[in-house]
């Protein structure tokens, strides 16, 4: 909160599985928070930042989009497996 008071251009975000459960309640408790997003909407972060900059209004996106988060994946560069990835998003507490 103090950092935000000293730098009004600072954008404060809260993200993750708890943020997706709490949503707008985070903003009610901490009105200085500019962005609230869940693990399922991390891919929308650039758009949320831009919307916040343009409108000056906080952005809350805790939705669970079905497939659009995979629309921006880069084209494969190697043949066959090249890395291990996590198949879980968020935490397993909710």
Q: Is there a domain that residue 44 lies in?
A: yes
- Residues β-bridged to residue 61: 37
- The answer on pLDDT for 63 being more than 70 is yes
- Express each pLDDT in 4-52 by its tens digit: 889 888 999 999 888 988 999 999 999 999 999 998 888 889 999 999 9
Predicted local confidence at residue 50, as pLDDT: 96
Domain count, the chain: 1
pLDDT on residue 56:
92
Supply the range of the domain harboring residue 41. 2-63
pTM over 0.85: no
Query: Residue 80: inside a domain, yes or no?
Result: no
Residue 91 falls inside a structural domain: no
Name the strands in the sheet holding 13-15, side by side, starting at the edge strand that comes first in the sequence: 13-15, 35-37, 59-61
Residue 15 φ/ψ region, left for φ over 0, alpha for ψ in the -120 to 50 degree band, beta for the rest? beta
Q: Contact 10/32 with Cβ under 8 angstroms? A: no
Is residue 18 assigned to a domain? yes
């Amino acid at each position: 909160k103090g950092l935000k008071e000293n730098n009004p251009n600072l954008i404060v975000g809260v993200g993750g599985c708890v943020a997706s459960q709490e949503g707008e309640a985070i903003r009610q408790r901490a009105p200085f928070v500019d962005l609230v997003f869940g693990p399922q909407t991390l891919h929308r972060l650039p758009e949320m930042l831009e919307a916040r900059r343009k409108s000056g209004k906080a952005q809350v996106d805790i939705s669970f989009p079905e497939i659009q988060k995979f629309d921006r994946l880069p084209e494969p560069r190697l043949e066959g497996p090249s890395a291990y990835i996590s198949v879980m998003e968020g935490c397993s507490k909710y």
